[in-house]
Amino acid sequence: MLLPKTQLIGLKADSFRHPLDLEATQALKQIPGVDMIVRSILGPLAEQVFYVENIASSVLVGEKQLPHLHQLLLDACKILDIEPPQLYVRQHPAPNAYTFAMRGKQPFIVVHTSLIDMLEPEEIQAVIAHELGHLKCDHSVYLTPVNILILAAAVVPNVGSFLAQAIQAQLLEWIRCAEFTCDRAALLATQNPRVVMSVLMKLAGGSPTLAPQLNLDAFIAQARAYDEISKTELGEMVKATRTSQLTHPVPVLRAREIDRWASSKEYQKLLQNQKIGYNSEVATKGEWRNW
């Protein structure tokens, strides 16, 4: 059962954006024509192809289709103050979720069945909220071309290596930094850091059978130990080498970031300010829905 949460009315993206995301976005904007180059490589119809392919291969969640997932989406959207996108469930053995924001189309989120199978309801909501974070922060300008490149490399023969080279290190660095911001969105939606860190733990070493056996406290201690090791010169070098070609930071690093931010004054003040604003509005309207 999901606990009542505070609705963050008027939440702005920059109020929770990770500083590394801000820095990397500014650097990425200095690269001319990233979006145009990607689209010229894949052709003007590439986005439409992937949109149609997703509709053909996934199940659209709604009031009459997996309504429990639909409600998780709606509740997360209310908390983060964002219009609900379409949500699809796709049969896939690799636990994953991703977001597409199509030009002129309604944005949509896709969650793989294998990820749903090993998560609790509130953890699924954290995943959905993470993807909503990409939309809230308008990451789609760069995220959609990258997702197209990754998917195209998997389905188009003989171009995988070429497309992989087209994803520049700077673009990958931005994506990793953007993930930190979206983990914060997941925390704001669930308002429970243990839920977000539990998702990361299960992504690192979970399965439908192993997930219930995992120890979250031990994983949090592991994340803190990784932080200490990374402070050494050798640790920093190994970490940089390990992550340079990844689209996501390693799970323990993401858990460490959430662990830190959840105990920060910035996070607490954000929730308190939103509560105060919500209370005052409720006093005017004579209604308060805390769900």
Which residues are the active-site residues? Answer: 131
Place of tokens 């070098």: 237
Count CA within 13 A, CB hemisphere, residue 206.
Answer: 27
Instruction: Tell me whether residue 6 is exposed, middle or buried, using C-beta atoms within 10 angstroms of its C-beta: 0 to 12, 13 to 18, 19 or more.
Output: middle
Q: Which amino acid is at 187?
A: L
DSSP code for 4: P
Q: Which helix (H) or strand (E) holds 100?
A: strand 97-100
Tokens (6 digits) for 163: 């497309």
Angle among Cα 24, 26, 255 to the nearest 5 degrees reads 25
Is residue 90 within 8 A of residue 41, CB to CB? The reply is no
